[in-house]
Chains A and B, each alone.
Chain A
């Protein structure tokens, strides 16, 4: 069972996504901010990160860049309630595996997560 971390600054969304992933047989933990997640990552590294782009305080793009810089490669699915072409480009350039618009269609999210998990699985086999 893959483990997924959810980072979103809104509790109702964290709760709903947690519920959706668990109902689909995925182990899900959630964090209210990017910092909270980065602090926890040393002890518990998920197979995939579902990361909100627009959060008060540290934004998703910043989290993504810190993950790159500290070499903590966690395959990341970006989710956003406000889609702009340039931010999509920025996220993909910063290493995001997928970029999804909210509201999230469950199939799209689950496919993106399993694709992301597979990218992680490859280096492990090597």
Chain B
């Protein structure tokens, strides 16, 4: 055996994560079995909810198939330790272990055949797969084996089909309760707890206290009239729905588990609306009720989670695309930026060298020195301002809506593009409405749109214009908003070109991605405004942004 083989063997045997999982399964299986005994309605021999099999299934669903034998082996001593205390014959104890393992293996194996990775309850497909394979097919199939072994060994006097039905419904409920709980918590990121704001903790506490309180009232307290009981079944529903809607699959599974435990605990102690008849009838009614709550609740939580995730991804993609488009504009602006930085640098250098000359000639007076330093500082501040504006515009971040002044946005954008406009020999005329009403929006995104329109205008006039290059930027007051327009003296466009301009990746520029106008339009749409353009072919184009006023 060479060194590599030894290492490979060691890595299988001593993979710490598998050993940890095995330890957890052993301890968990034992505790789950004790809980299962506690949930048995005496003298009915089958637990209302038998969680060890479900726990085993969840563990298998989370681990690679090559480690399954380790987990099943770890469950055996736990199974023996739990079952042999109850005085059941050894043959029956071993038979049950086989059927318990078979349920976990059938469920995990079927699911793994479709999803070749640890199962996450984060899509409708995965949830449906779990419900059909893990919570339905596996407990049903293993129940036949289980009942057959009970009859074969001759333990108890129930008939075969009763055994099948009671075992199946107990295990279906256990799978629905335990597997989602383990799967969601095993993949839960603890940072989410750390990053959550205090009101989130308050909300979570309210949900679980609500589930606990309503479940206690509905299923445990002997104080209520039996005739009122059916209506009370719905008491925990608002809190369960709250958990599903706001706390995701993890919250829904946890809230469900809480209600299941409280309900069964009540029934075991002879409390609640399900008691009063024969134990097997109580168990059956209880299981049917809890299963019919669990299935839609889990599906609802998963569907909402899936939708929330899709929305989040779409939002992130839009932000990334907008950022990409801004960065592409940076390329178009680079010449102008160099110009805008070189101007103050020129003033700084000339002032400093003037001071050197004066100093060398011993002609530098205190007063002149002070003035030179003031001028250097002013030029330096101007250069920092250029950089600050650029950094603000090209940073990557979440959308932040705030109250804004349209005139201020125009001034900011024209100061960023000043260098470009000057370099291209474009005269800029601004006609700003006095005191326009505030608009609400994301400063960076709105400046991005305006920047795009200014750069488009520059590009349109690059070939020269008969009337002289001029960009006219106006802000005008409308009845319920502010209109900002950018008029150039370029060649304009023909109606046929107009819609194409708003199509992604359509470009007439040498630089640029062709995303400008399409992203600009989606930004303005998201602000509840409108973006459009008009043109007189040969005389120029004007683009208009209208944004709704947001009075204080």
Contact residues, B402-435 vs A (CB, 8 A): 419, 421-423, 425, 427-428
Cβ 8 A contact of A20, one of B339, B357, B378: B357
Cβ 8 A contact of B350, one of A59, A101, A106: A106
Nearest A residue (CB) for B363: A23
Q: Does A12 contact B (CB under 8 A)?
A: yes
Assess the B379–A81 pair: CB atoms within 8 A. no
Assess the A23–B358 pair: CB atoms within 8 A. yes
Q: If A15-B375, A19-B350, A104-B349 touch, does A56 touch B358 (CB 8 Å cutoff)? A: no
Nearest A residue (CB) for B340: A81
Nearest A residue (CB) for B371: A19
Contact residues, B385-412 vs A (CB, 8 A): none
Assess the B425–A59 pair: CB atoms within 8 A. yes
Assess the B351–A10 pair: CB atoms within 8 A. no
Name the A residues within 8 Å of B372 (CB-CB): 19
Distance, CA A102 to CA B356, complexed state (A): 19
Q: Does A125 contact B (CB under 8 A)?
A: no
Distance, CA A105 to CA B378, complexed state (A): 20
Nearest A residue (CB) for B360: A23
Q: Does B226 contact A (CB under 8 A)?
A: no
Q: Does B73 contact A (CB under 8 A)?
A: no
Cβ 8 A contact of B348, one of A17, A59, A79, A103: A103
A30 nearest CB across to chain B (Å): 12
Distance, CA A10 to CA B375, complexed state (A): 13
Q: Does A55 contact B (CB under 8 A)?
A: yes
B528 nearest CB across to chain A (Å): 35
Assess the B427–A56 pair: CB atoms within 8 A. yes
Assess the A102–B351 pair: CB atoms within 8 A. no
Q: Does B490 contact A (CB under 8 A)?
A: no
B469 nearest CB across to chain A (Å): 10
Nearest B residue (CB) for A15: B375
Distance, CA A23 to CA B342, complexed state (A): 22
Distance, CA A73 to CA B189, complexed state (A): 77
Assess the A24–B422 pair: CB atoms within 8 A. no
Q: Does A13 contact B (CB under 8 A)?
A: yes
Q: Does A126 contact B (CB under 8 A)?
A: no
Q: Mark contacts of A1-42 with chain B using CB atoms, 8 A cut-off: 1 yes-contact digit, 0 otherwise.
A: 000000001101101110110111000000000000000000
Assess the A23–B348 pair: CB atoms within 8 A. no
Assess the B354–A102 pair: CB atoms within 8 A. no
Assess the A106–B357 pair: CB atoms within 8 A. yes
Q: Does A123 contact B (CB under 8 A)?
A: no
Q: If A12-B379, A81-B343, A81-B346 touch, does A56 touch B357 (CB 8 Å cutoff)? A: no
Distance, CA A107 to CA B348, complexed state (A): 15
Distance, CA A103 to CA B344, complexed state (A): 8
Distance, CA A16 to CA B354, complexed state (A): 8
Distance, CA A116 to CA B361, complexed state (A): 25
Name the A residues within 8 Å of B378 (CB-CB): 12
Assess the A16–B357 pair: CB atoms within 8 A. no
Assess the B347–A81 pair: CB atoms within 8 A. no
Assess the A104–B358 pair: CB atoms within 8 A. no
Q: Does A71 contact B (CB under 8 A)?
A: no
A114 nearest CB across to chain B (Å): 15
Assess the A12–B357 pair: CB atoms within 8 A. no
Assess the A81–B427 pair: CB atoms within 8 A. no
Q: Mark contacts of A45-89 with chain B using CB atoms, 8 A cut-off: 1 yes-contact digit, 0 otherwise.
A: 000000000111101000000000000000000010110000000
Most buried by B among A23, A57, A79, A102: A23
Assess the B347–A16 pair: CB atoms within 8 A. yes
Q: If A10-B343, A20-B354, A55-B422 touch, does A103 touch B379 (CB 8 Å cutoff)? A: no
Assess the A82–B346 pair: CB atoms within 8 A. no
Distance, CA A55 to CA B356, complexed state (A): 29
Q: Does B338 contact A (CB under 8 A)?
A: yes
Q: Mark contacts of B361-382 with chain A using CB atoms, 8 A cut-off: 1 yes-contact digit, 0 otherwise.
A: 1010000000010010011001
Contact residues, B57-103 vs A (CB, 8 A): none
Distance, CA A15 to CA B425, complexed state (A): 23
Name the B residues within 8 Å of A17 (CB-CB): 350
Distance, CA A79 to CA B347, complexed state (A): 13
Distance, CA A76 to CA B299, complexed state (A): 80
Assess the A81–B350 pair: CB atoms within 8 A. no
Name the B residues within 8 Å of A19 (CB-CB): 350-351, 354, 372
B382 nearest CB across to chain A (Å): 8
Distance, CA A23 to CA B428, complexed state (A): 36
Q: If A23-B361, A56-B427, A102-B342 touch, does A12 touch B347 (CB 8 Å cutoff)? A: yes
Distance, CA A36 to CA B375, complexed state (A): 24
Q: If A19-B350, A20-B353, A59-B425 touch, does A103 touch B345 (CB 8 Å cutoff)? A: yes
Name the B residues within 8 Å of A54 (CB-CB): 339, 422-423, 425
Assess the B343–A104 pair: CB atoms within 8 A. no
Q: Does B335 contact A (CB under 8 A)?
A: yes
Nearest B residue (CB) for A10: B343
Assess the A16–B346 pair: CB atoms within 8 A. yes
A14 nearest CB across to chain B (Å): 9
Distance, CA A45 to CA B421, complexed state (A): 31
Distance, CA A12 to CA B351, complexed state (A): 10
Assess the A12–B345 pair: CB atoms within 8 A. no
Cβ 8 A contact of A104, one of B335, B350, B428: B350
A83 nearest CB across to chain B (Å): 9
Q: What would be 21 A-B contacts, judged by CB atoms less than 8 Å apart?
A: A10-B347, A12-B343, A12-B347, A13-B343, A13-B350, A16-B351, A19-B354, A23-B358, A54-B423, A56-B421, A56-B422, A81-B339, A82-B335, A82-B338, A103-B345, A103-B348, A104-B346, A105-B349, A106-B349, A106-B353, A106-B357
Q: Which residues in B have some Cβ–Cβ distance to A below 8 Å?
A: 335-336, 338-340, 342-351, 353-358, 361, 363, 372, 375, 378-379, 382, 419, 421-423, 425, 427-428
New A-B contacts (5) at CB < 8 Å, excluding given A54-B425, A59-B425, A82-B423: A10-B347, A19-B372, A81-B338, A102-B343, A103-B345
